Structure 1
Amino acid sequence: MSYAEVRELQSALHTASDIVFGLQATPTDEESEQILDALRRALNLAHSLAGVHGGTGCAEHPRGAIDPLYGDAEDPLPPGYGKCLLCNDRRRRAGTQRHARV
């Protein structure tokens, strides 16, 4: 993990922490989304620590973001999808555009 990635991980964790410690009551929907986004970013960065070639197992984006839906038992990914968020997003968009034209 490079220095820049460590700083980004620290930033994501600090962002989530700042929002949580600044709460006065039940968080608003916007605050909840901000917390979730910061924690997802931190989790994806932490996943990238998994190996030398990155946590995605993707040849194109070995150090890319991990798809947060990967391994979700409630909503598993379709066959052919992997851990790479960038590739999975591209597949999702291609599928959406194909169906939208029909």
Structure 2
Amino acid sequence: MSYADLRELRTALSTASDIAVGLEAVPSGHQADELVVALRRALAAVGSLSAERGATGCSLHPRGAVDPLYGDPEDPLPPGYGKCLLCNDRRRRAGTRRAGCQRPRR
């Protein structure tokens, strides 16, 4: 477990808590989607606490940054993209999908 993984978990849980406190009596679809994204981020952080591959699931950058667009229902990543921001950024700049990190197997 690294400090970065624990910090990511705390940040994700804090974000989810803030969203939950601000929910209306009958949450809108947008509010529910925001909460789902925050909870998925927290779940990924929990998984990375004991995972060998880290939060990104990337063999090249196991402790790299997680792409903030990962898990966002409003702006999903293209097929084949993983959670690794470094590899996804490289793909975006190249304009093509390259081999590199892959989505973690579930």
Q: TM bucket by the smaller chain?
A: 0.5 to 0.7
Query: TM (normalized to structure 2)?
Result: 0.51
Query: TM (normalized to structure 1)?
Result: 0.53
Give, in whole Å, the separation in 1 of the partners of 2:47 and 2:91: 21
For residue 77 of structure 1, the aligned residue among 76, 79, 93 is 79
- From the two aligned structures, give the one with the greater helix fraction: 1
Cα distance, 1:91–1:10 mapped onto 2, change above 3 Å: same
Cα distance, 1:3–1:54 mapped onto 2, change above 3 Å: closer
Name the amino acid aligned to 1:13.
L
Cα distance, 1:47–1:89 mapped onto 2, change above 3 Å: farther
The percentage of aligned residue pairs carrying the same residue is 51
Q: Which residue in the other structure is 1:12 paired with?
A: 12
Which structure has more relative contact order (CA 8 Å, sep 6+)? It is 2
Unaligned runs of 5+ in 1: 70-74, 97-102
Contact 1:58 1:84 in 2 (8 A): no
Q: Which has the larger radius of gyration?
A: 1
Cα distance, 1:47–1:90 mapped onto 2, change above 3 Å: farther
The size of the alignment, in residue pairs, is 87
Measured against aligned partners, the alpha-carbon deviations of 1:68-94 in whole angstroms (never above 9, x if no partner) come to 47xxxxx9834xx5x443213431342
Unaligned runs of 5+ in 2: 72-76, 97-106
